Amino acid sequence: MNPLSVLRDSLYFFRRHLPNILPLCLPLVVLEALLTQLLYRQMGDQASPAYGMLVSLLLYPLYSAALILYLDTRSNGQETRKRDLFARAVQLWPQLALLILISSLLIMAGLALFIFPGVWIMINLVFAEYLLVLRGRPVVQAMRESASMTTGHFLRIMVCVVGVLAPIWLIDGLLLMALPEPSPAMELAMDSLSGFLQLFSTVVLYRLFMLLEGEANA
């Protein structure tokens, strides 16, 4: 499992299926960014970041599950209508939202103590969403199985995650340098772009998930 090969194959898939991924996920990504922006403008500069997390918990599980289901159906050579993907995503929303909430709290607790525990928890839980959405695992079992799947693969998974996030952080930084005080419309566009680009990590982790699951079953 070469991280560079995983990133290359995932990028090829993402670019090839971009015309389908855009209408599947971008509207909800933009809505999430818009609601977050409006909420913070209403609450003021002292608003807690927890409010943004609540908005994400409302919408992220929907488009994340829809994308994971899309990746799986297309990888298996199947065609599924967008409304069917979202219908299934709505069914999965309660459990997936709970999983994301617990995972986020654990990661934040780890980061608050030291940086490495938070990163370690994040890597151990990277496959929990796939196990819940695609394999029907309950929340706690999905987290346990994810930790088991990542055992012995920490560095390779970490390289893939950083390989995805580093360019996005660079783009975000360059945009903030170029537009230190963006207009509301430009801020919405920047946040939406960043949110959508981060979905590439879902494609990369799906590829890793399938490879490691295949190795375990071989």
Angle made by CA atoms 148, 153, 154, in degrees to the nearest 5: 95
- pLDDT tens profile 142-153: 999 999 999 999
* Single pTM value for the model: 0.94
DSSP for the chain reads --HHHHHHHHHHHHHHTHHHHHHHHHHHHHHHHHHHHHHHHHH-TT--HHHHHHHHHHHHHHHHHHHHHHHHHHHTT----HHHHHHHHHHHHHHHHHHHHHHHHHHHHHHHH-HHHHHHHHHHTTTHHHHHHHH---HHHHHHHHHHHHTT-HHHHHHHHHHHHHHHHHHHHHHHHH-SS--HHHHHHHHHHHHHHTTHHHHHHHHHHHHHHHHHH-
pLDDT confidence of residue 214 = 85
Domain boundaries, the chain: 3-211
Distance of CA 154 to the CA centre of its chain: 18
Number of alpha carbons in the 13 Å side-chain half-sphere of residue 107: 14
- pLDDT tens profile 36-71: 998 888 876 666 777 778 889 999 999 999 999 999
Nearby residues of 81 by Cβ (< 8 Å), 6 or more positions away: none
| Amino acid, res. 117 | P
How many angstroms separate the CA atoms of 72 and 54, rounded? Answer: 27
How many angstroms separate the CA atoms of 50 and 55, rounded? Answer: 9
- pLDDT tens profile 72-94: 999 888 888 999 999 999 999 99
Statement: residue 218 has pLDDT above 70? no
